[in-house]
Structures are given as structure tokens and as C-alpha cells.
Amino acid sequence: MTDEYNTNDGEQEAWVMLQDLDPQLVKKRTLAGSSGSESFSLMCLGRKLDINPAERSITGDSREAELLLQDLGSYTRLSVLRYLVHCPDEPLHNEWIKPASIPGGRIFDQGTHVLPLNEPAALIQKNPGAAKKACAGLGGHLQDMGDLSMVLYPMPRFPVLFIFWYGDEEFSPAGSILIDALWQSHLPIDIIWAAAKLSFEMLLKLLKQYI
């Protein structure tokens, strides 16, 4: 399953920048593995992807990787490539922040880019066990926040925290997304949104599969 090079300007720019970087330094700061002397392997939501800058291709060898590279390809490409280029050589801040608080982050709260977190929240309320299976299936781990919460990793050093609250007679099911504060200074908001969107869509797919 191969995601061929896309002519999108943002992707072209990311490939060029990645080709100019020292592969060993990229691997060190991003926690990427090797699939060749100048290629990378990267875990994305529990699935291994192979990134080849020389061929400008991203490949995977599982059914779930096919979802990432085909159904959600644009989000995967942008997230992974920009992560490899911009991931800093510094630890996570271990401080969760709302992406909406970052300059330009209102796309998380307003307009057509708002992720409908009430949908997975309702599914989770119906079957919390499905959420636990989905979390494990995506290489994440549960947290003790809200009614049910989990951390997923679209990239190894880019955690996304989902917090869900169940509905009742007064309130509908709801959810929230947070990211580590490290990333507010290192990735454009549209790339942060793409990583969150990727995580949201994969979570929703697995929830529907397990319920």
C-alpha cells in the first residue's frame, strides 16, 4: 500500500526540507526508526509507516496503514512530513493545552473544521469497553479524566489527549482535544489540526467497528 508523492505545494516543500536534513539527527529527535540508511520508519497510531525521501513516498504493510495512507492520506502525509522536519530536540512540556488557545486555533472551535466530538462521546457512553479496545488498537493509553479519556499518538512525540463526557437529560455527550504545550511553538496550526483530525477519524472508525 503506497501513498505516492502528491504535487500539493505544502507536501513538496516538506519533502525538500526533509531531504536536506541529516537522517541520523532526524531519527534521534523524532524517535523514528530506520527502513534504510536514508529512510525512516515511524509509528502512527500504532501502525508502522515507511518514509522514503528519495522516492518521496510513504508506504505501509497493514490494512490499518491503508486507511491512513488512502482514506486519510492528506492528513497523514502533512502530519508525518512536518513532524519529521520540525520536531524539536527537547522534551515534552507535560502540560496539556487546548489547540484553540494557539494563534489561529479557532478552527478547532468554529467553522467547518470543528471535529464532532459528540459522536465518539455518544458511542463511548453506549459501550465504554469499545473505547478501551479502540484505544489499545491505536497504540494509546487511557487517562483518568472526564468520564473516559485517552492519549493517542499520531506521531511518537506528538500526543493527543481526548476527554469525553457522557450525556444526561440536560446535556448531550461531549468531548475535548488537548495537545502538549511543546507543539504550540513548533508546528503551524493547520498541521496540528491535521494530526488531531487523523487521530479523531481513526478513533471513530475503530469505535464503530467494535460496537
Q: What is the percentage of the chain residues whose pLDDT exceeds 90?
A: 89
**Shared domain check, 102 and 197:** yes
Domain boundary, last residue among 67, 86, 105: 86
pLDDT tens column, 108-137: 999 999 999 999 999 999 999 999 999 999
Structural domain harbouring 171: 96-210
pLDDT at 4 over 60: no
Judged by average pLDDT, the poorest of 9-13, 106-110, 146-150, 190-194 is 9-13
CA distance linking residue 24 with residue 38, whole number of Å: 8
Residue 110 forms part of a structural domain: yes
pLDDT in tens, 151-160: 999 999 999 9
> Of the residues 32, 64, 86, which one is the last residue of a structural domain?
86
Q: Tell me the β-bridge partners of 151.
A: 141, 161
Q: Does residue 3 have a pLDDT over 80?
A: no
At residue 38 the predicted structure's pLDDT band, cuts being 50, 70 and 90, is confident
73 in any annotated domain: yes
- Asked whether residue 139 falls in the same domain as residue 195, the answer is yes
Is residue 38 a part of any domain in this protein?
yes
Nearest to 186 by CA among 107, 92, 77: 92
